[in-house]
Amino acid sequence: MMETRKITRLVVWIFYIAIAADVATLISTSVSNSFLSSIEQGTYLYSYESMMAEANAHDLRDGIISFATIFIYIACVIIFLRWTYKSSQITHLSGAQDLRFSPGWSVGWYFIPIASLWKPFQAFKQIYQVSIQITDWQNVSIPSSLRWWWGLFILSSIIGNILTRVYFGVGFNSDLSIDDLKSIYILEVIAYSIDIACILILIKIVKEISQRYNSDDFQAVLAGKPPEESSSEEPTKQESTKQESTKQESTKQESTKQESTTESSTENSSTETSDIYFDNRRSSSKKSSSEEPAEKESSSESSTDESSIDESSTEVSDLYFDNRKRK
């Protein structure tokens, strides 16, 4: 996997260099096109030698940029095919079933006429699908960017073949008009613009596949271990755990509130009971106080009776003494 990471970084860097070469070609083409426009306007009408000198300078610059671009594109093809071969090897090592393209044919189909129009795309599609899901990889849908990349690649290849034939024709025929050269420059601008868009999309796709291959889950599969739960599910689990803990806390708080409410109601009821008890005591005291006058009346009546008895006895004694006196 370390070799695959190195190749991926190398692919990305060489693609960026190819984009820089395409931009340089576009700038050089626009300068040459403006030179042709100045010739049409008669700027060099009376200075043929200066016109030829400037034309030779433009040809030299365009030639240097073209040769540099060719070497860069050859390096891009070699490194990208090497990356494709390694990526296809990883798909076979992953244990995916019913794979249709071997690592060798994932590269070899690019060099087969006619079949190179769709077979390399199918092989690359297989690599992309397995990188997303190893089991049932055939049902994995591919993004539109993958189709855009292949469509732009085919279109760029067609325009490149046309330009190659035109360049060889120019080499053997120097009787081209300014309009013919302008048409060639316009075709170059279209071709290199398509190349830039195609390479940018391919860089994005290569990075995505490499990131999946270097993930912990995919490495565990290659090592023969069961894949762990993806890191994308961890935040969901953490959120669910937080929600459960929050629910438990809220349930505890509600139970605590209910207990406190029950205790407070119990205390209130006991307080009311005590109040009733003391009220009963007060009523009983009131009753005792109301009974005191009755007792006092009865005692007074008893004392009155006693006094009457004493008086009667006194009277009897007086009578007795009176009887004695009479005798």
Query: Could you write out the DSSP letters of every residue in 224-272?
Result: TPPPPPPTTTHHHHHHHHHHHHHHHHHHHHHHHHHHHHHHHHHHHHHHH
Higher pLDDT, 244 or 137: 137
Q: Mean pLDDT throughout 180-184?
A: 82
Higher pLDDT, 184 or 122: 122
pLDDT of residue 306: 45
Higher pLDDT, 30 or 180: 30
pLDDT of residue 11: 94
Higher pLDDT, 15 or 305: 15
pLDDT of residue 250: 62
**What's the count of helices (H) and strands (E) in the chain, helices before strands?**
8, 0
pLDDT at residue 128 greater than cutoff 80: yes
H or E stretch including 318? Answer: helix 234-326
Please give the mean pLDDT across all residues of the chain: 75
pLDDT of residue 6: 87
| Proportion of the chain above pLDDT 70, given as a percent | 64
pLDDT of residue 182: 83
**DSSP 8-class letter at 52:** H
Residues 216 and 228: beta-carbon distance below 8 Å: yes
pLDDT of residue 136: 85
**DSSP 8-class letter at 110:** G
Q: Write a three-state SS string for 127-165.
A: HHHHHHCCCCHHHCCCCHHHHHHHHHHHHHHHHHHHHHH
